[in-house]
Amino acid sequence: MARTILTDARVKALRPRKTAYDVRDAKLRGFGVRILPTGRKRLFLQSQRHGERIWKIIGDADNTGIAEARAHATETLAAIRKDESAPARPEEMLFEAVAETVFDRYAHVWKAGTLNVNRCYLRNQLLPYFAERGIADIDGRDVRNWFASLRATPVAADRSMPVLSVIMREAEAMGLRPEGSNPCTGIRRYRRKGRERFLSDEEIRRLSDRLTANEARYPQQVAIVRLLLLTGCRRSEILTLRWSDYREGHLFLRDGKTGPRTVWLSRPARDILDMLGRKSGWVFPAPRTDGPRNKVWLDKFWYRVRAEAGLGDVRLHDLRHTHASFALRRGETVLAIARLLGHRNPQTTLKYTHAADAMVHEAAEIVSAVLERN
């Protein structure tokens, strides 16, 4: 991150880029300027108190001189160190300022990939509509109008809504909105055709045949695909697996999407791992770097083998769905499947119940056919 002694002339000379960037002051630690893609320049102070990151807007560089801003930042920093809470300035109550504070806080909660994706939703879906608005002035009608404006991109709308909700909920915790005033509450998501794809018994047989045919040439890729189907793990969880994570017949995932979790392995899954050579700390090590294989390497193989098996619309993630559907067919409860898949909220698992509906329909058809013959 760039660091220089900030002056009015230097700040004025800074030009916007495609993404926001910071220039820190070399004279006062934590003081700096953030240049937004729109060209706006926000003077800020970043510090810590009791292990919590604090991010405060000092002013707009177009309206506040650097000497004045640095003096105010110095006073604010002193108040933070004395554990005194200074009242929020008008600039700190703007939507974009609160959003930045929330993202700074959640940098230690969200995974890096989640943080980056959520920043994209903030930049592309939320800021164009809510920037320059006071956080307390945004109500349910505003959110409904914003959501309606995104009807042409329902996926982006549905996925940016939770980001907006988090910002509003944190604004309440910061005392910038009344408690219980989250304007995202009660807004229904767009109905979209589910992307879940469940392989039938016949499709699994075809896939298994093609995996066997490719095993001699692509042993690692075949092992990964089989593990995905046998464990219901996410692609990233298997690709980044370490040998130290595999012990006592279980996988102890230290960094799953929803946090650490234990995966109980079946005998076939254990056999696959036991037959792999331990040439690195990684179960599937990259050949030229001290790290695991990447998803591009695996995806290239998957596109080949699924085409050979006649499964052109099947994603690797659908193997996880298939694992869950088989567990449901065996009579496992939704709660048990939630634990099996590492879902933090069992409600997430309810989408698999339509597999049970299909099973009921199939059973009804069989019974009807038997009764008609009699």
Q: What is the CATH code of the structural domain delimited by 201-363?
A: 1.10.443.10
Instruction: Check: pTM over 0.85? Answer yes or no.
Output: no
The whole-number pLDDT of residue 371 equals 45
| Cα separation of the two ends of the chain | 79
Between residues 85 and 111, the one the model is more confident about:
111
pLDDT number for residue 52:
63
Query: What DSSP string runs through 202-243?
Result: HHHHHHHHHHHHHTTT-HHHHHHHHHHHHH---HHHHHT-BG
Res. 320: pLDDT tops 70: yes
Beta strand 31-35 pairing with 41-49 = antiparallel
**Cα 114 from Cα 107, distance rounded (Å):** 9
* pLDDT 10s digits, 23-35: 999 999 889 998 8
Fold match flag (2-173 vs 201-363):
no
pLDDT at 335: 52
Q: Which residue has the higher pLDDT, 368 or 281?
A: 281
Q: How many helices (H) and strands (E) does the chain have?
A: 15, 8
The 3-state DSSP class for residue 94 equals strand
What confidence score (pLDDT) does residue 2 get? 66
Q: Residue 227 corresponds to which tokens in the numbers above?
A: 């593990």
Tell whether the model's pLDDT for residue 359 goes beyond 50: no
Radius of gyration for the chain, computed over Cα atoms and rounded to the nearest angstrom: 26
Q: What whole-number distance in Å separates Cα of residue 257 and Cα of residue 100? A: 23
> Which residues does residue 292 pair with via DSSP β-bridges, in sequence order?
285
Reply yes or no on whether the pLDDT at 125 is more than 50: yes
What is the tens place of the pLDDT at every residue in 57-101? 788 888 889 999 999 889 888 887 776 555 555 556 789 888 988
Residue 362 is predicted with a pLDDT of 44
Mean pLDDT of 211-226: 95
Nearest 5 degrees, angle CA 193-CA 195-CA 197? 125
The reported pLDDT for the residue numbered 328 is 59
Angstrom distances, CA of residue 341 to CA of 103, 198, 344, 345: 28, 15, 9, 11
Q: Would you say residue 298 has pLDDT above 60?
A: yes
Q: What is residue 343's predicted lDDT score, i.e. its pLDDT?
A: 47
* Mean pLDDT, rounded, of the chain: 81
Q: Which fold has domain 2-173?
A: Double Stranded RNA Binding Domain (3.30.160)
- Work out the number of other CB atoms within 10 angstroms of the CB of residue 56: 23
pLDDT digits (tens, 9 = 90+) for 174-217: 778 888 899 999 888 886 555 567 788 899 899 999 999 999 99
Q: Are 14 and 23 in contact (CB under 8 A)?
A: yes
Domain ranges of the chain: 2-173, 201-363
pLDDT tens-digit map of 322-357: 877 765 555 555 455 455 555 455 555 455 555 544
